[in-house]
């Protein structure tokens, strides 16, 4: 099984109260693809400019990511910069330069069109729909989104919801989209709009998985060493979709395990800037933290 992932490919500048780094590899497709690559082969769809560093292409290749769908266009790569406060849940976007993304019209290589699992990582819902329309008969489609699209492309997002199996979004986005303060009501509200499953991420506090006949609350991993939360949500979505594709089974058991694997990879991602920590991540470390997640939430009747 394989997964097709589209989203942004970016050069990020990230500032925390203690560190600052420029021209890091970022973008939703970068994080999600590397995260998914721990579970299945990945077909990436995106665009970069001619300034995109070769070392980042090498990084994707090291993870076995298929880059036939990564266009290189004349111009500059998408750039984003953000700043975190001492409370690392609070982030301010300082600048966004769409650059080559402004005219991006993704065309899927023929070999990608039969990919069974699809992750529409965070980009505009219009582009997400454009990519999805080119996939022949997807088995399971996951979409991520952000506040910007809720505010500026709500109709396209609502349309997209009718075409996907699972929507992943964070708690403030869920509240903004549904105009509900309560997350349980928000999750149920989104289920009525099309997707069979909804995942609401609560940052360092875990996440909630909703289906019409199921509810699952995944615990938070008690991380002490967070250096850069950027991309945690994208890693979650990538690992979640990659894990499901690897199992090739959509049942409650696999979905719960996919949520935990998403949380595991996201928890490693934030231990360093950009994709640095995932470069050295091993399958045995993934298993170790998976076991910890399991033991943290197990309890027996007295
Ligand atoms: P996250 O921390 O999960 O919100 O994802 C952070 C990543 O999203 C960064 O690497 C950015 O390059 C990327 N990003 C920021 N703004 C946008 C946008 N408007 N569209 C697509 N990707 C974005």
Q: What's the pLDDT tens digit per position in 248-289?
A: 999 999 999 999 999 999 999 999 999 999 999 999 999 999
| Gap from CA of 178 to ligand 1 centroid (Å) | 22
Instruction: Give 134-158 pLDDT, tens digit per residue.
Output: 999 999 999 999 999 999 999 999 9
- What is the pTM for the complete model shown? 0.97
Rounded distance, CA 211 to CA 196, Å? 6
Q: Which pLDDT belongs to residue 224? A: 87
The reported pLDDT for the residue numbered 230 is: 96
Kindly state if the Cβ of 96 falls inside 6 Å of ligand 1.
yes
Pull the structure tokens for residue 172.
Answer: 């403030």
Question: What phi and psi, each to the nearest 5 degrees, are found at residue 25?
Answer: -70, 125
C-beta 82 within 6 A of ligand 1: no
Q: What pLDDT does residue 205 have?
A: 87
pLDDT, residue 118, reads 98
Q: From the CA of 10, give the closest atom in ligand 1.
A: 12
pLDDT at 191: 98
Is residue 220 lining ligand 1, measured as CB closer than 6 Å?
A: no
Higher pLDDT, 239 or 222: 239
**Number of Cα atoms under 13 Å in the Cβ half of residue 119:** 38
In total, the chain counts a number of residues equal to: 302
Residues 24-42, mean pLDDT to the nearest whole number: 98
Find out whether the beta carbon of 231 lies less than 6 Å from any atom of ligand 1. Answer: yes
Q: Ligand 1, residues 16, 23, 80: which to mutate, most atoms within 8 A of Cβ?
A: 80
Which pLDDT score, from 0 to 100, does residue 260 have?
97
Query: 98 CB less than 6 Å from ligand 1?
Result: no
pLDDT value, residue 278: 98
Over 90: is that where the pLDDT of 220 sits?
A: no
Q: What percent of the chain has pLDDT over 90?
A: 93
Q: Which class is domain 9-297?
A: alpha beta
Find, among 230, 165, 240, the residue nearest to 207 by Cα: 240
Minimum-distance ligand 1 atom for the alpha carbon of 124: 20
For ligand 1, say whether the CB of 230 is within 6 Å of any of its atoms. yes
Mean pLDDT, rounded, of the chain: 96
The structural domains of the chain, with segments of one domain joined by +, span: 9-297
In testing the pocket of ligand 1, which one of 79, 84, 122 has its CB within 8 Å of the most ligand atoms? 122
What does the pLDDT average to over 169-177?
Answer: 96
């Amino acid at each position: 099984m394989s997964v097709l992932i589209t989203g942004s490919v970016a050069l990020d500048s990230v500032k925390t109260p203690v560190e600052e780094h420029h021209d890091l590899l970022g973008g939703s497709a970068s994080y999600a693809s590397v995260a998914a690559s721990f579970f299945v082969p990945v077909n990436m769809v995106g665009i970069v400019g001619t300034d995109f560093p070769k070392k980042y292409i090498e990084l994707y290749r090291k993870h076995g990511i298929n880059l036939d769908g990564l266009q290189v266009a004349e111009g500059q790569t998408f750039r984003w910069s953000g700043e975190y406060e001492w409370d690392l849940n609070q982030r301010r976007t300082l600048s966004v330069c769409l650059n080559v993304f402004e005219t991006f019209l993704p065309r899927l290589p023929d070999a990608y069109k039969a990919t069974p699992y699809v992750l529409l990582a965070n980009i505009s819902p219009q582009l997400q729909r454009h990519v999805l329309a080119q996939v022949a008969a997807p088995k399971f489609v996951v979409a991520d989104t952000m506040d910007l699209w809720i505010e500026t492309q709500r109709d396209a997002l609502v349309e997209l919801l009718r075409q996907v199996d699972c929507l992943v979004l964070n708690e403030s986005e869920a509240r903004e989209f549904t105009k509900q303060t309560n997350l349980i009501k928000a999750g149920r509200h989104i289920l009525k709009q099309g997707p069979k499953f909804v995942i609401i991420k609560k940052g360092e506090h875990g996440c909630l998985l909703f289906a019409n006949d199921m509810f699952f609350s995944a615990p938070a991993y008690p991380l002490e060493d967070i250096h850069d939360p950027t991309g945690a949500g994208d890693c979650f979505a990538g690992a979640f979709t990659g894990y499901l594709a690897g199992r090739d089974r959509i049942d409650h058991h696999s979905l719960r395990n996919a949520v935990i694997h998403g949380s595991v990879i996201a928890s490693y991602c934030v231990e360093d800037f950009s994709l640095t920590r995932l470069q050295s991540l091993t399958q045995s470390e993934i298993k170790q933290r998976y076991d910890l997640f399991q033991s943290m939430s197990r309890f027996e009747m007295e």
